[in-house]
Amino acid sequence: MRVMEEKKEIRLNRFLRRKLTRISAATIDRILTATKKQYQFKGKSTTKPGTLLRSTVAVRTFDDWNDVVPGFFETDLVAFCGESVHGEYINGFNLTDVATGWVCLEAVMGKGQYRVHQAIDRIRNRLFFSMKGLDPDNGTEFINWLMKRYCETYHITFTRIRPNRKNDNCYVEQKNYTVLRRFLGYARYETNEQLVIIKDIVSLVELYVNFFQPVMKLKTKERIGSRVKKTYDIAKTPYQRVLDSGVLTEENKTRIQTLYKTLNPMDLKRRINKLMEKLNKTLRYISIEATNT
Domain coordinates in residue numbering, the chain: 54-215+261-292
Structure confidence at residue 26 (pLDDT) = 85
How confident is residue 59, by pLDDT bands cut at 50, 70 and 90? low
Structure confidence at residue 286 (pLDDT) = 60
User: pLDDT of 121-143, one tens digit each?
Assistant: 999 999 999 999 998 887 888 88
User: pLDDT of 258-281, one tens digit each?
Assistant: 999 999 999 999 999 999 999 999
User: pLDDT of 187-214, one tens digit each?
Assistant: 999 999 999 999 999 999 999 999 999 9
Whether residue 290 is predicted with pLDDT greater than 60 in this model: the reply is no
Structure confidence at residue 45 (pLDDT) = 53
Structure confidence at residue 170 (pLDDT) = 76
User: pLDDT of 139-176, one tens digit each?
Assistant: 888 888 899 899 999 999 988 877 666 666 778 888 88
Query: Among 45-54, 76-85, 133-142, 202-211, which stretch is predicted with the lowest mean pLDDT?
Result: 45-54
Structure confidence at residue 228 (pLDDT) = 83
Whether residue 288 is predicted with pLDDT greater than 80 in this model: the reply is no
How confident is residue 60, by pLDDT bands cut at 50, 70 and 90? low
Structure confidence at residue 208 (pLDDT) = 97
Whether residue 241 is predicted with pLDDT greater than 90 in this model: the reply is yes
How confident is residue 243, by pLDDT bands cut at 50, 70 and 90? very high
Of 55-59, 66-70, 261-265, give the range with the top mean pLDDT.
261-265
CATH number of 54-215+261-292: 3.30.420.10
Percent of the chain with pLDDT over 70: 85
pTM of the entire predicted model:
0.81
The residue among 190, 3, 242, 5 whose CA lies nearest residue 80 is: 190
Structure confidence at residue 226 (pLDDT) = 82
